[in-house]
Amino acid sequence: MKKCLICREEFKPFVDFGRMPIANAFSTQQELKNEYFFSMRVGFCSNCNMVQLLEQPEREKMFHDSYAFFSSTSNHMMNHFKKFANSIITIQNLAEKSFVVEIGSNDGIMLQNFLSKNIPCLGVEPSKNVAHVSMEKGIDVITEFFDRPLAEDILKNYQKADDILSANVMCHIPYIHSIYEGVKTLLKEDGVFIFEDPYLGEIIEKTSFDQIYDEHVFLFSALSVSHIAKMHDLELVNVEPQVTHGGSMRYTIAHKGTKKVSKNVLSLMRKEKEMGLDKEEAYKNFAYNVNQIKNDLIELLVKLKKDGKKVVAYGATSKSTTVTNYFGISPDLVECIFDTTPIKQNKYSPGAHIPVLPYDQFRDSNPDYVLLFAWNHAEEIMKKELDYMGNEKRWITYIPKVVET
């Protein structure tokens, strides 16, 4: 039995994904010799309602100078973060004397929108390669992990923050109590801490199991976020559903008693209880549904191979690492993965060792079927490739079930 990272109560796993590599560790042939694996099991704590990994790799193995995820490669995400920033600027009435801090600022995709309006901002990004892209845009970045001691350092060198932001980062951090302590230290009395992450309710409803990989230590719900906030004399005051990453939630947290709690919070908590997110049964059903998808996809890929069909994949995503390794998908079933991210190209996928090729070669590969790992961008991708795919080639998706389109 493991102890919960939030409340220290004992809990046990509801699904075991087995031996798993680092999701973003796309490697050269030489680097594969030192490939790292860990045991990826997911459990539910009935005391604080947190869904979490039982083991996590060391953070330096996941977030480093060769980190392979650059947010700005997606036009969809560019537009999303522009709208995110503009809404905060309007609602919080931010101006040139304000101060915004982002935890996990990546390549500056969010903060560039504050910079362009002369609103002082600071990024915190431990992966130096993506942080360097931010710096080239003129954004001030600290290349360290955010925690309470760093928050105290920021306070000494800057000022208290009107807004602390984070997108698809909070779920990565096992030492989450230090993050909340840092937020409480750095945030102005009337300020807000806003973060968004993949939403547990969507993951359970869609069986989007591939949202679970080494970086995603936690899968948040309003119930669990509210619990953590209260532990630090903070308060969950608003929730807003987002379409990003196949279904995310934006959480707004404030110092306790400083903001009115939105009806959205209470409404979502009621819905989560109706879905059974506070009970073990929902997670047992989820595990069953994951295995059904596994069986259906492997059955289809094996059949296509027997029929002599060529299958390639689209999108060397972090999610694809969970799918290929848990399902046992090798280059024998999927020849290669095409991706637009230069740092992943001409390398091999983690664990499964499927070749990752430049997107420019996709249309010359002439596949019969394309397995879409980047399913959360399906609409954008399918529209882009409509003229090429036509009626002869077919997409394969697997969330919420295996479908040929």
Q: What is the CATH number of the domain that holds 321?
A: 3.40.50.720
Q: What percent of the chain has pLDDT over 70?
A: 96
| Final residue in a domain of this structure, among 228, 257, 275 | 275
- 314 and 367: one domain? yes
- 270 and 291: one domain? no
Is 168 a residue whose pLDDT tops 70? yes
Domain that holds residue 131: 71-275
CATH at residue 170: 3.40.50.150
Position 70 confidence tier, pLDDT thresholds 50, 70, 90: low
Give me the pLDDT at residue 1, please: 83
Backbone phi, psi, residue 72, to 5°: -75, 0
- 304 and 268: one domain? no
Give me the pLDDT at residue 380, please: 87
- 212 and 305: one domain? no
- 107 and 256: one domain? yes
pLDDT per position as a tens digit, 253-304: 999 999 999 999 999 999 999 999 999 999 999 999 999 999 999 999 999 9
The answer to which of 120-124, 245-249, 322-326, 350-354 has the lowest mean pLDDT is: 245-249
Position 98 confidence tier, pLDDT thresholds 50, 70, 90: very high
As a whole number of angstroms, the distance between CA 353 and CA 336 comes to 9
Is 167 a residue whose pLDDT tops 80? yes
Question: What is the mean pLDDT of the segment spanning 225-244?
Answer: 97
The answer to which of 64-78, 81-95, 204-218, 243-257 has the lowest mean pLDDT is: 64-78
Give me the pLDDT at residue 246, please: 83
Instruction: Give the strands of the sheet with 337-339, arranged side by side.
Output: 347-348, 355-358, 337-339, 311-314, 369-372, 394-397, 403-404
356 within some domain: yes
Position 306 confidence tier, pLDDT thresholds 50, 70, 90: very high
11 within some domain: no
3 within some domain: no
- 220 and 344: one domain? no
* Angle at 176 (CA atoms; ends 56, 207), nearest 5 degrees: 60
| Final residue in a domain of this structure, among 241, 275, 309 | 275
pLDDT per position as a tens digit, 7-54: 999 999 999 999 999 999 999 999 998 899 999 999 999 999 999 999
Is 66 a residue whose pLDDT tops 60? no
21 within some domain: no
Question: What is the mean pLDDT of the segment spanning 323-330?
Answer: 98
Is 63 a residue whose pLDDT tops 90? no
| Final residue in a domain of this structure, among 245, 275, 305 | 275
Q: How many domains does the chain have?
A: 2
- 379 and 315: one domain? yes
Is 57 a residue whose pLDDT tops 60? yes
- 102 and 204: one domain? yes
Give me the pLDDT at residue 244, please: 85
- 264 and 384: one domain? no
57 within some domain: no
28 within some domain: no
Question: What is the mean pLDDT of the segment spanning 366-385?
Answer: 94
256 within some domain: yes
Q: Report the candidate in 175, 62, 158, 165 with the shortest Cα–Cα distance to residue 105.
A: 165
- 129 and 258: one domain? yes
CA dihedral sign of residues 48, 52, 54, 56 = negative
- 152 and 179: one domain? yes
Identify residue 294 by its one-letter amino acid code: K
192 within some domain: yes
Tell me the sheet residues that pair with 140.
122
